[in-house]
A and B are shown apart, each in its own frame.
Chain A
Amino acid sequence: MALMNQRSLLVGPANRTARAAVLCSLCGRLGLTAAIAAAFLIPVPPVQGQQITTGINRGAPSIRIAVAEFPAQSSDANLTALTQEFNSVLWNDLDNAGIFELVSRSFYPLKPPVGPADLVFDQWANPPVSTQMLVFGKTEISNSNLVITAYLYDVKNPGSPSVLAKRFVATPDEISSRETAHRFANEIVQTLGGGAPGIALTKIVFVSNRSGRTGRSEIYVMDYDGFNPHPITSYGSLSLTPRWSPDNGRLAFMSYVSGNPEIVVYSLESHHLLPFPHLSGMNTTPAWSPDGKKLAFSSSLGGDSEIYVANPDGSDLQRLTFSPSVDISPAWNPKTGNEIAFVSDRSGTPQIYMMNADGSNLRRLITGGGDASEPSWSPNGQLMAFQWRVSETGTYDVYVIDIASGQITQLTHDAGRNEHPTWSPDGRHLVFSSTRTGSKQIWTTLADGSNPKQLTTQGDNWNPNWSN
């Protein structure tokens, strides 16, 4: 009778589900070998286009992931320090990625697995950890190299759990250890995030006056998590609005280094300035076209500030805007390269306008009044982040507009003055400057406004731009 019951239950749409669930529970109990045996005993029929209607309205959930501490395989003091660095960087990278829900380490089994042989699926797949994915591995010193073996396992699917298995060989120092962690985090994000590369190896360029001289500022670069900020320029002058070229090989910014506010193109490969003509008047806010072959900027060459486009060496200069008002802060659509957003005060206050890359089809983007500036396109060209002061008495906050629908979302509020938003290359993060701690500092946030993180503490820092 019991058998009959079972059989009748196995007919119908829940059939596969039930069988898979049995399989899962079996595997959980008996481990990997049992799972394989079970898979042979119960032949799974080829999957037809079956569907279940669960009625769950669940959006796209975050992936639950556990990151076990990688144990050092010898008690070498140097290795212990490097392992600690690796573990914390890997955790932070995955936490910052935005697509994961990290399971707190306090739930983990006391002894982390070193290799796939020690992995007990039950311990991780069941409460309290209940994780979907598990990151584990080990670190060791071999031939005076730092060797890190790292795995990403789908512990809810013991039948074929291995998703990633990597072996990194690096020089045993802090920088390499961090880079290895960044690399592995990028692999995980790319694998589980649907193919979009991770941003753990990207950098952020910004402007800082930390050298202490008032009215002076230099261009600085740091890792995306705020590590290792170091100056690019030491002109003892005022340098502003740095922008990465799409190939990350050059920086364009505005500088008073020659006395006049001019556009400067700096090569990060040769660490020298590339030739760019000295234009008269105020030249500022350079912006690269997505193919890196054009540079748009604002110049008061002809009397008042207008948007110009030129080659990166300054040749083939073309004027795009013709208005007696100030036109500044151009930004190319990074997806198509066919549109340029810019800021103009032709209506009285600074407002964001859009035009085609040849200057035609001019239209106003933000119609809500106030004072909107600093446009920055998301990498997919669908959204634009900008700073907006809605009322005269208010303060600047970061907003995002969905360009197709005109829907505006406020990302920051009640936290000082928030300015200069620019996007990360994965489209999941924004970097901006904020005065919420009292001084102007660089912050990053997820593009939905959650998870704000402060990156800088020293001096005043502003005008951040994320590398590509």
Chain B
Amino acid sequence: MSTRVLTPALPTEGRESLRGALLVSIGLHTVMSALMLTYGLLRFGHSESWGNPWEKGSSARVRAVSSLPGVPLPTPLQVTPNTLANESPGLYHTEPETPPPPERAEEIPKFKDEIKPNEPKRINTRIQKQQLTPPPNAVPFGAGGQPAVAYSQFTTSAGEAGIAFGEGDFGTRYGWYVAAVRNKVSGNWLLSTISPNLMSAPRVYVEFDIQRDGTATNIRLTQSSGNPEVDRSTLRAIEASNPFGSLPPDYSGGKVSVDFYFDFHR
């Protein structure tokens, strides 16, 4: 059996000549390329070439945020839409003003066979009529100032933290000292020391003593978060803040034991 190469028989008679079209196409392409080249030369002729040292690399990211972790400056306040997040949180909100009812309320259309609900029976009218008077120790909204409590809470770039000062009334008497310690630790708790893929961690409790001259001693973890990185970062925050200011001169004790908690979250 002999093999035979099958050559497709192309109809040569009915084919259009591409010659003209080809010439036009080449011409147009040439004009286009010339235009692009001249434009490029005119537009970018003086630009820097690739890979020169002025090219800004992709690895440097500059931010224009005004808060620098590690600088002992107050961080800008972050306002959250929380009911208590106002300038001077009181303990009770005053009743918000109810808007006046519209002039003419739209009437509910009546139905033919309307079933009226039974009138609820009052069992004890005295209790029902009891007016809820605000307790005498109610603090009007916005007039309370900062509550003087044992634990005060704050938020750093790395998360929330709280602080309690010893037994007794140190925290209430020397609120300014507690605030100073808090602000200092807050500025030294660095987000950069915790790996970025960790979003949150359970609360870490750290205890330490502040001696009369302000040095922190006996820094120890009393409750771990379970994540050594977070634990270390909190201990580092205390170590980096050491020494604190010396204890208030009229405080009689030799040292103050501080119970600090850190809530890490991003």
Interface set of A (CB-CB < 8 Å, partner B): 1-2, 5-6, 9-10, 14, 16-25, 44, 46-63, 98-99, 125, 130, 132-133, 154, 156-157, 159-160, 162-163, 190-196, 347-349, 366-370, 378, 380, 382-383, 390-392, 399-400, 402, 404-410, 413, 426-428, 446-450
Contacts and interface: CB of A to CB of B under 8 A. Distances in A.
Given A6-B137, A51-B162, A195-B214, A59 B155 contact: yes
Contacts of A450: 66
Contact of A58 (B59, B85, B136, B168): B85
B21 interface: no
Question: Closest 5 CB pairs between A and B?
Answer: A368-B60, A194-B184, A195-B245, A51-B151, A405-B192
B234 interface: no
Interface in B45-90: 48, 52-57, 59-80, 82-85, 88-90
Given A163-B248, A392-B48, A194 B183 contact: yes
A196 B48 contact: no
A96 B66 CA distance: 17
A399 to B, nearest CB: 7
Contacts of A410: 62-64
B150 A21 contact: no
B82 A57 contact: yes
13 contacts: A25-B143, A46-B168, A51-B153, A54-B84, A56-B84, A58-B154, A157-B173, A162-B250, A194-B244, A368-B62, A378-B70, A402-B68, A448-B68
A409 B180 contact: no
Given A157-B172, A427-B71, A428-B73, A60 B146 contact: no
Contacts of A59: 74-78, 154-156, 186
B85 to A, nearest CB: 5
A165 B15 CA distance: 109
Contacts of B246: 195
A160 B55 CA distance: 61
Interface centre among B82, B156, B187 (most CB of A within 10 A): B187
For chain B, the bracket of interface size reads 35 or more
Interface of B: 48, 52-57, 59-80, 82-85, 88-91, 130, 133, 135-137, 139, 143-151, 153-156, 160, 162, 164-169, 171-176, 179-184, 186-187, 190, 192-193, 214, 240-241, 243-246, 248, 250, 259, 261
Contact of B183 (A44, A99, A449): A99
Contact of A9 (B63, B137, B240): B137
Given A9-B135, A21-B139, A193-B72, A47 B168 contact: yes
